[in-house]
Structure 1
């Protein structure tokens, strides 16, 4: 058994408090008429995501796209958006990096955008 002193625990908690918190989703909405997902993040930013850019969701029905929830797998509340009917989701981290699918999907989106 490992014993930890009160001072060690207090120091560890203080280090945790000083680490910057990763942004997470605090509010999410799907605008059916515009086919846009709007994610409000804990740091004040908003991500506006066209449904057509989201792998797995682009070809879904309106009902499937609108059926989503916010999950926290192993992290703070709201670390990913999840579509249960599609058994698919995307992380906030990936979305902030501009990833809306796998490499093949991203190349397809880039080609489409370049042709437009």
Structure 2
């Protein structure tokens, strides 16, 4: 059961996200380029290669052909995978669990230096 305090904190966070405009209003995967595009209410689009995302890296283009956004715009969901990622994580540069992020950083050190 959720405590009143946890509920109130969640509501406050929801208001903060809504006011910031940092939530998804559209998303699609471009199989031709291998890029995921997420458009935010704030008026810009974030794009990244599917290999960057733990959820997307081993998925087929067919798996990624359907993309949904949660009602509040906080999650990008791939129905065929029954999985997705958070917009907040994407905006903070976090595309997977701790192990995924550590291995990505080790494999792509040249990007870290840029």
TM-score (norm 1): 0.73
Runs of 4+ in 1 over 4 A off after TM superposition: none
Structure 1 counterpart of 2:6: none
User: What root-mean-square deviation, in Å, do the aligned CA atoms of Structure 1 and Structure 2 show?
Assistant: 2.1
| Residue correspondence of structure 1 range 74-85 to structure 2 within 5 A | 77-85=72-80
Cα deviations across residues 17-57 of structure 1 (Å, max 9, x unaligned)? xx833511112121111110111101122111210011121
- For structure 1, which runs of at least 5 residues remain unmatched after alignment? 1-15
Separation of aligned partners in 2, 1:22 and 1:45: 10
Separation of aligned partners in 2, 1:29 and 1:88: 15
| Residue correspondence of structure 1 range 7-26 to structure 2 within 5 A | 20-26=19-25
Report how many residues are paired: 96
- For structure 2, which runs of at least 5 residues remain unmatched after alignment? 1-14
Looking at CA atoms only, which structure, 1 or 2, has the larger radius of gyration?
Answer: 1
1:66 paired to 2:61: no
Structure 2 counterpart of 1:49: 48
1:104 paired to 2:99: yes
Q: Report the CA distance between 1:89 and its aligned residue.
A: 1.1
